[in-house]
Structure 1
Amino acid sequence: MIKLVLLILINSLFIMNLNSQTKWEWSHPKGTGNDLFGFDFADDMTGYACGYLGNVIKTTDGGQNWFALNTGVKHWLFEVKCINKDTVIIVGQGSSIRTTNGGLNWNTFTISSSPLYDIYFLDNKTGFVAGEVGRVYKTTNSGWNWLQLAQASSSLLLRCYFYNEQIGMLTGRNCVYLTSNGGQSWNLQSIPYEPIENVEGLQIVDTNFICVVKNLEKKFYLTTNQGINWISYSFNLPNEGSGGDIPRGLYFKNKDSGLIITDLGRILKTTNGGVNWNLTYTTLNMYKIHKQNSKIRIAGKGGTMAYLDSNFNNLTVQSGGINSLNDMCVVNENVIYACGDRGDIMKTTNQGMSWLKLNSGNTTRLNGISFINENTGYVVGDSGLFYKTTNGGNNWNSVNNISGRILLRVHFFNENEGVVTGRGMLLLKTSNGGLSFDTNYSEVDFSGFTGLRFYNDLTGFASSARIFRTTNGGNNWALVGMNATGSGQDISILDSNRLISVSSIFIYRSSNMGVNWVRYDPPGDYFFSTCDYTLNGNLFMGSSQGRIYKSIDNGETVERYDTTFTNQSLSKIRFANANTGFIVGGNGIILKTTNGGLTSISSNNQVLNYYNINIFPNPVNPTSVLEVNLNKTQNLNIILYDITGREIRKIITGNLPAGVNRISLNLTSFSSGVYFCVVKSGDISLASKKIVKLN
C-alpha cells in the first residue's frame, strides 16, 4: 500500500559539472525558473521545453521532474519538435539547434537568416517553420533539409499550423494567412486589428472550423468556410496589471469544446464552439498550450509546466507555477520561508532541496515575512493584511487589518514585539503580537520602506528614499540619510560599525552604525535591488534585471556574475551562513549557493563530466538497483538523505570507473516516504532528486 504519493526520482539524470566549484543554481524550480515559450513530447514520458537565453529542460517521467540541458547557445528559443525521444529540433532568435542523443550534445544549423518563432510537424517527416519578414519553410525529411515556401508579405509571423500538406495557417503581427495549396500562395484574411496586435492562438480543427484569438481585442474569431467570412464572439477578461491580461493560446478538442489561456493565469472554456466562454482562475502565467498524447499541456513564465486532463479539468502543476516572491526569512540554514504575490508562501526544511507551497488562505499580495523560530511567524501585505502562524505555516490567522494601508516589511523580535513598515513612509510598532500598533512615523507619500534590518533588539534601520534609524527597538526613529546622503531598497549589516544599503545604481556605506552614510557609484553597468553580507564579510547584490553581483571589499569593486542566466527580477538575497545563500524573485524563482557563490552561474558552457543515473524500479519496494553511467573515472559521493535533510546512508564513496556501474540497494529497514539521492563531488552538491520508498 502506498503510504505517501510523491514525485518519483527522475529516471535519466544528466549532471553538468560546469566548474570545479559550486555556483548559484536553481533551487526552485529545479530545471529552470526562466520563462518557457515552447515544448513537445516524444511520448508519454519523454519531453523537452525551451525558453529564455538558450534554456532547454527535459523530462523522462512524464513531467514530474525536469532537468536542465546545456545547449551551448544563449539566444531565446521559441518552439520544440521531437522527431523521437532522442532527436529534437528547436527554433529561436538565432541559429536553430538539434540533438540526436537526447540532449547530451547540441549542434547549431541555419534554416533562415531571420528569427524563427514556431515549428509545426504533421508527422515525423513533414514539418514547417515560420518567422520574421513573412518567411515560411518546409521539410520532408525530419528537418535535415528545408525549402522556402512563398513569402507571406513582410509580416512578423509568430505561429504556424497545418491541417494537412495543403491546408495551413500563419498568424503574427496584425495578420492571419491561409493557404490551400501547401504554401505556394498565402491569402491575408480580413480581420480587424488594433494598431499593433499579435495573433498567437490558432487552430484548424477541420477545414470548416478554423479559429484564432488575438492579444488585445477580447474576441474569438471563427471561419466555417475557409476564410470567406469570419465570425467573432466576445469574452470577458477582468483588467489586472498595468497592461491588462493577454490571450496567449487556444486549443479545441472538437468543434464544441475549447480553451483559451492568458498571460495572467485565466482559462476560458467553451462548450458551444466559442459562442460563450466561462472564466476560471489559476495562479499560472501562461504562454503556450498543446495537446500532447492524453494531456493538454501548458508552458509559461518562471519555468512553469502544467497540464489538464482531456476533459479540461484537474489542472496539475509539475514545475514552477509560483507567483513572484517579494521577501524571504532565513530561520536557519535548513528552514527558509518566502512570500509573494497572490498569497503565495514557500517553505523549505532541507536547505532548499525541496520547497512546499503553503496555504495562506488568501490571494492578496504578500510583501514581507518574519519568523522568530521555525514555527512562529508573520506576514504582511496589501490591504493592511497582517497574518500569523504558530505551526510552521500550516495555518495562518488574521491578527489585525490596518485598513487602507499597503504593508511592506515586518520584523518581530519575539512573539509580542515587532515592527512593520508600509506605504506612506509608515513605521509601526506593536508590543502585543500585532493586536494593536503605534504609528511612530508616517507621511503623505506613495513610497514606503522596503528595507528593514535589525542588528539586535534595539538598533535597526528602515530604508527607502531615506534611511531611518532606531536605537530603542522601533519605538522612535531618526532620519540619518536622505537621497545623496543615504537611501536604499535594501539594507544589510556586517558588524557593529559597518552597514550597506543599495538603491538603483548606488551603494551607500556607513562605518559608524548608520549615523553617517557615504554614496558610492561603482564603475560599470549596475542596477541594485537587494543586498546581503555573508558571515565572512562578502557582499552579494541582486538586480531587477536578474543580475547577481559580488564584492569582497565592501562594495569598492563589484564582480558581475553571468548576465545571461535569468530574466527574472531578483527581490531578496539572504545568507544563512558564510556559504549557504538564497535569492528569491520574479515568477517564484529561488536560487541557491552552498559555497558563497564562489563561481558564476553557467560560467563555463563546456560539459566536463557526464553522469547518467538510473534507479529501477522506482518507487523502491524494498530493493532496487542504482545504475551510474560515467564517461570517465570519477570520484563521487552518492548519499541518501531523509526529507529533513538528515544523512541516512552513504550509497557510494570513492572512485567509480568509466562505463556502467550497478549497485544494489536494499531499503527494507526504511520507513515509507520520500528520500533524496544527492550526488556530491567532495563537499559540493552537484544534484539532488527524490526517491520514493513504499511498504
Structure 2
Amino acid sequence: MKINLFPLLFTIALFYSCINNQSNKNDLTPKPYKVSKNFIPINKAPRIEYNTFNNITQNQYSFTNTTSNQEVSILHHLDETGFHFYQGLKFKDNNLGVIVGGTRLRARITLNGGKNWKEVSFSRFANSFQSVDFSGNNIFIVGASNYIYKSEDFGKNWSVFDTKYFFKENQSRYQKFKYYKVRFLTEKIGFIIGEHERHSVILKTIDRGETWKIIKNNNLPKNEKGISDIAIISADELIITTLSGKCYKSIDGGVNWQLLYSGENTTLSSIAFFNSRTGFIGGSNNVLMYTNDSGKTWKKIHMPYGEISDIVIHENNAFITTSFQALDEAKSFIFKIDSKGTNTPLPFLTKKDDSVFFEANSYAIQTLNNHIYILDKNNLYRTIIN
C-alpha cells in the first residue's frame, strides 16, 4: 500500500511552525517582573555579571601642594582611563575607602589607605556607578542600574535590591534607571536620588538600608528631570538640585516641595549647605549660586573656570571640584570659598611637579576629619586641610 506522506509532513511542519511562532511571541512579550521587596544575594539576581579582581597594587607617590605647602598623596592612579574612570568616592576612615565609576558598574575597595585595591564589577556593558556611601560598616553603591548594591563585609560578598519593585505597573523589560547619589544622614536614615524613565525619584531608608521605600512627592512637576544631588539637613528638611536647573526644599521628608531657584539653560549637579540657611548650588555654565537666607535670595559667585561637579563643606569653608575639557593641563581644578560667600573661590590644589598631570575631569570630593580626598579622572588625591 502506498502512503501519501505529504499530509503528515505538512502537519509536522505546521506544528513546529506554531511552536516557533509561539516561542518568538514569548520572547517579544514582556514577562511580569516578580521582584522582591528585600535584598537578595548577588548570584540570584538576573542579568548581573559579577567579577572580582584582587590585590591591585598601587605605587605610592606624593608631591607638594604649593598653595598650602602640605604633602599630597596619590592613593590611586590609572594610566589610560578612556571611559574607565571613577566618579564617586567615600572613605570611612583613612584606611577603608571605596571609589566607583565605569564602565561595567565598577568599584575598587581599599582596606589599607590605597596601597592595595580589590576591584568588583557587575555588568558587561558601559553603564557606570555614580555614588557610594557607608551606613555603619555596610557599603551602598548606586548608578546606571535598577539595583541598589550592598556589602556587609567590605566587599567580600554582595546583595542587591531591585528598585523595579516600586514600578511593578511598568512591564517594560528595558526600563531606564539612573541613581546619582546615595547619602546617609545617620547610620539609620539615608536617601537615594535619581531618575526613572526621565522622571525624578527619591528613595528613603530608616533602618540602615535594610529596606527602602519610595517617597511619592505631591508637588514636584511631573516633567521634572532627574534629581542630581541632595543636602540632608535633617530627616525632614531636604534640599535638592535637578538636571533641569532647579532647586527645591522640603520640610516634611520629601512629600511636599517649595521651589527655591530656577536657572535658565543650566544643569545643576551639586549642592552643599552649612545649615538650613546657608549654602551653595552649582552646575554647568560655571554656575555657582550662594544663599544665606534659606534660598529666598541667591547671589552668583564668579568661578574662574570649570563646570561645578561636586561641593563639600568643612567647618567654615566649602570646597568645590570641577570638570571640563581643557586643551592644556589645568593649573587647578579644586577651589575653596568661605561660608560668607564674599570672596571669589581661590585655587586649593596647585603644584610645580611636572610628573603629575591634572586631568581636571573631577566629579567627587570628600572631607574626613582634617583630610580632603579628591577624585580626578586619573588620580585619587589625599591631603591635609589647613
Same fold (TM over 0.5): yes
Higher helix fraction: Structure 1 or Structure 2?
2
User: How far apart are the structure 2 equivalents of 1:352 and 1:424?
Assistant: 40
Report the CA distance shift for 1:401/1:544 in structure 2 as closer, same or farther (over 3 A).
same
Matched, 1:576 2:314: yes
- Amino acid of the structure 2 residue aligned with 1:472: D
The runs of 5 or more residues in structure 2 that have no matched partner are: 1-57, 165-173, 195-199, 347-369, 372-383
**Any idea what SS the aligned residue of 2:140 has?**
strand
1:359 to 76, 79, 85: 76
1:432 to 141, 145, 153: 153
* Number of residue equivalences: 260
Matched, 1:546 2:286: yes
User: How far apart are the structure 1 equivalents of 2:280 and 2:63?
Assistant: 22
Q: Cα offset for 1:352?
A: 7.5
Report the CA distance shift for 1:484/1:442 in structure 2 as closer, same or farther (over 3 A).
same
Q: Cα offset for 1:466?
A: 1.2
Matched, 1:387 2:96: no
1:409 to 128, 131, 143: 131
Contact 1:360 1:396 in 2 (8 A): no
Q: Cα offset for 1:450?
A: 0.7
1:486-505 matched pairs, under 5 angstroms = 487-503=226-242, 504-505=244-245
Report the CA distance shift for 1:356/1:424 in structure 2 as closer, same or farther (over 3 A).
same
- The RMSD of aligned alpha carbons is 3.6
Contact 1:470 1:477 in 2 (8 A): yes
The runs of 5 or more residues in structure 1 that have no matched partner are: 1-342, 604-643, 646-675, 677-684, 686-695
Aligned residue number for residue 453 of structure 1 = 183
Aligned residue number for residue 467 of structure 1 = 202
**Any idea what SS the aligned residue of 2:221 has?**
helix
Q: Cα offset for 1:541?
A: 0.9
Q: Cα offset for 1:361?
A: 5.5
Matched, 1:601 2:344: yes
1:85-484 matched pairs, under 5 angstroms = 353=68, 355-360=72-77, 363=81, 364-382=84-102, 383-398=104-119, 400-404=120-124, 406-414=128-136, 416-443=137-164, 444-464=174-194, 465-481=200-216, 484=221
User: How far apart are the structure 1 equivalents of 2:76 and 2:340?
Assistant: 32
- Amino acid of the structure 1 residue aligned with 2:231: S
Report the CA distance shift for 1:601/1:512 in structure 2 as closer, same or farther (over 3 A).
same
Contact 1:467 1:479 in 2 (8 A): yes
Report the CA distance shift for 1:427/1:348 in structure 2 as closer, same or farther (over 3 A).
farther
**Any idea what SS the aligned residue of 1:497 has?**
coil
Report the CA distance shift for 1:432/1:602 in structure 2 as closer, same or farther (over 3 A).
closer
Report the CA distance shift for 1:602/1:539 in structure 2 as closer, same or farther (over 3 A).
closer
User: How far apart are the structure 1 equivalents of 2:321 and 2:155?
Assistant: 28
Contact 2:319 2:337 in 1 (8 A): yes
Q: Cα offset for 1:590?
A: 3.1
User: How far apart are the structure 2 equivalents of 1:373 and 1:556?
Assistant: 37
- Amino acid of the structure 1 residue aligned with 2:342: T
- Amino acid of the structure 2 residue aligned with 1:418: I
Q: Cα offset for 1:346?
A: 11
Contact 1:470 1:476 in 2 (8 A): yes
**Any idea what SS the aligned residue of 1:391 has?**
coil
Report the CA distance shift for 1:491/1:427 in structure 2 as closer, same or farther (over 3 A).
same
Contact 1:368 1:409 in 2 (8 A): yes
| Identical pairs, percent | 21
**Any idea what SS the aligned residue of 2:294 has?**
coil
Contact 1:421 1:427 in 2 (8 A): yes
- Amino acid of the structure 2 residue aligned with 1:411: D
- Amino acid of the structure 2 residue aligned with 1:381: G
